[in-house]
Amino acid sequence: MSYISMNLVTMFYLIASVCFIQALKGLSSPATARTGNAFGMSGMAIATVTTVALIFKLQAQAATTGGLGFGLVLLGVVVGGGIGAFAAKKVEMTKMPELVAAMHSLIGLAAVCIAVAVVAEPWVFQITTAGVALPFGNRLELFIGTFVGAVTFSGSVIAFGKLSGKYKFRLFQGAPVSFPGQHMLNLGIAIALVALGLVFCFAPGIEPAWTPFIIMAVLAFILGVLIIIPIGGADMPVVVSMLNSYSGWAAAGIGFSLNNSMLIIAGSLVGSSGAILSYIMCKAMNRSFFNVILGGFGGDPAAAAAGGAQEQRPVKSGSAEDAAFIMSNAETVIIVPGYGLAVARAQHSLKELVEKLTHKGVIVKYAIHPVAGRMPGHMNVLLAEAEVPYDQVFEMEDINGEFGQTDVVLVLGANDVVNPAAKDPKSPIAGMPILEAYKAKSIIVNKRSMASGYAGLDNDLFYQANTMMVFGDAKKVIEAMVKAVD
């Protein structure tokens, strides 16, 4: 390839990298998220077109006949892009976490497939020439990329099944799956993976050491399953962010092997941002960051079962009309959205209710817990879909101090994130930061039933003297509130 052509490739990759950095910056706030998405799509388009052009030129220089390789690349771009566009257009808001987990699995699988291709024919990727063995550094990079990619793929498949809740297979159930000696088994597999990786890296001769490489990949797939199955549904938001980080590091590892600066930069951005997000989520759930990385935070099933034993206590219930009357006569209202709001797809009705309350002079704000829903930022995305003004949406640390002076708190489908049991040192969720809705003068909670949340704990908030339960589907209840306000 000529000097000028290589400069152009480098320049376009640099432009794409800048777009990715701007995308992350934009996605850090709901107000700039759409701009961030635009940057991300632009960067990926530039990177894809540049890579396809590079492949075409390399194939032309190699005097390849038939054009099958380039045709397959174009076919992959068209088919993959079409499937992605269709899935994104058709996916429901409640299914967004499953879609994210599925995308992570594909990134991990792609990393493994690329590593296999590089090990088989490194000269095609211009890493070596035919008849020359892979250098140690490249072997090490391929080992790391394969290991992380395989763990990401199988772990994401399990996460997809747990989030979907459609499958009866036990590994896909929301409840943690544990067995005696589980952690020791994970440790043994991890040690075996390192040993096999070293054998692969130090293997003499020109021919690649396929046996340790294949065994290593298989064990990595198994380890990905084992580190996710002990994690319950309540912890899925952290799992999604953790797997997001893993997928980034897998891409970065393969980028080093291919000497592709674009993959290295993009993978590092995703990996580091996912790790930071995982740390933030861990703080929000009072989890150990290192236990999350090692997949050891599924919780004690016995404790969860004990917490799930609910005491029969009387609750005060009312109608949607009662709730509307209370809010209409309040000065300040804080709304706490949860997964139940997403399931009912009631965000548009909620926006209408807020507009009518605001028209009556009521000050309304939204309070968002970092782990509300089934993935990081789930509630922010839900409200953004309904075009809720960003200046009405507040994160937990910014609004917690206002609950004590708030007239009414409306909790919609949320449970564990407002459970005062987190303040009890003896509770299984002790220390978990919560939205302090229990401090408000009046509390209205909308749920379908008195069922516990993902943590399996009874919620003391429901039994407070100043709490009124409004049972029913969130959308129907909110629509009734809208009519009552009118």
The pLDDT tens digits for 339-369 are 889 888 899 999 999 999 999 999 999 999 9
Q: How far apart are CA 327 and CA 25, in angstroms?
A: 37
Residue 401, classed as helix, strand or coil, is helix
Q: How far apart are CA 469 and CA 263, in angstroms?
A: 51
| CB-CB contact of 206 with 133 (8 Å) | yes
**Arithmetic mean of pLDDT, 307-324:** 77
pLDDT (0 to 100) of residue 393: 92
**Arithmetic mean of pLDDT, 7-31:** 86
Instruction: Give the whole-number percent of the chain exceeding pLDDT 90.
Output: 32
pLDDT (0 to 100) of residue 104: 84
pLDDT (0 to 100) of residue 227: 87
Assess whether 416 carries a catalytic annotation. yes
Banded model confidence at residue 256, pLDDT cuts 50, 70, 90: confident
pLDDT tens-digit readout, 166-197:
777 767 776 678 788 888 898 999 999 999 99
CA distances from 130 to 101, 123, 250, 258, 259 (A): 39, 6, 26, 16, 18
* 392 CA to centre of own chain: 24
Closest CA to 217 of 152, 264, 156: 152
Regarding predicted confidence, which is higher, 292 or 452? 452
Q: How far apart are CA 432 and CA 438, in angstroms?
A: 15
**Arithmetic mean of pLDDT, 431-448:** 92
| CB-CB contact of 246 with 148 (8 Å) | yes
Task: Out of 20-29, 119-128, 293-302, pick the least confident.
Answer: 293-302
pLDDT (0 to 100) of residue 33: 81
Which member of 235, 300, 416, 473 is catalytic? Answer: 416
pLDDT (0 to 100) of residue 458: 84
pLDDT tens-digit readout, 91-115:
776 677 788 888 888 889 998 998 9
**Arithmetic mean of pLDDT, 310-324:** 84
Question: Does 301 have pLDDT greater than 60?
Answer: no
Rg (CA), the chain: 26
pLDDT (0 to 100) of residue 306: 42
pLDDT (0 to 100) of residue 300: 45
Strands 332-337 and 467-471: unpaired
Class level of CATH domain 311-485: alpha beta
**Arithmetic mean of pLDDT, 201-223:** 89
Question: Does 219 have pLDDT greater than 60?
Answer: yes
Regarding predicted confidence, which is higher, 291 or 432? 432
CA distances from 227 to 101, 105, 159, 242 (A): 15, 15, 11, 12
CB count, 10 Å around CB of 443?
A: 26
pLDDT (0 to 100) of residue 9: 84
Regarding predicted confidence, which is higher, 90 or 148? 148
pLDDT (0 to 100) of residue 468: 95
Helix spans in 288-420 (H)? 289-293, 301-308, 320-328, 339-344, 347-359, 378-385, 396-399
Residue for token digits 């002076």?
Answer: 405
Question: Does 294 have pLDDT greater than 70?
Answer: no
Question: Does 461 have pLDDT greater than 60?
Answer: yes
Q: What angle do CA 363, 468, 471 make, to 5 degrees?
A: 105
Report the chain's mean pLDDT, rounded to a whole number: 83
Strands 467-471 and 393-395: unpaired
Tell me the one-letter amino acid at 200: F
**Arithmetic mean of pLDDT, 202-217:** 88
Q: Where are the domains of the chain?
A: 1-90, 104-299, 311-485
pLDDT (0 to 100) of residue 62: 59
Q: How far apart are CA 477 and CA 54, in angstroms?
A: 57
pLDDT (0 to 100) of residue 58: 65
| CB-CB contact of 47 with 251 (8 Å) | no
Question: Does 426 have pLDDT greater than 90?
Answer: no
pLDDT (0 to 100) of residue 191: 94
Question: Does 297 have pLDDT greater than 90?
Answer: no
Banded model confidence at residue 126, pLDDT cuts 50, 70, 90: confident
Does the CA dihedral 381-383-384-389 come out positive or negative? negative
Task: Out of 195-209, 316-330, 444-458, pick the least confident.
Answer: 444-458
pLDDT tens-digit readout, 361-410:
999 999 999 888 777 778 888 888 888 988 899 999 899 999 999 999 99
- Tokens encoding 189: 């597999």
* Close Cβ partners of 423 (under 8 Å, ≥ 6 residues apart): 430, 434
Question: Does 199 have pLDDT greater than 50?
Answer: yes
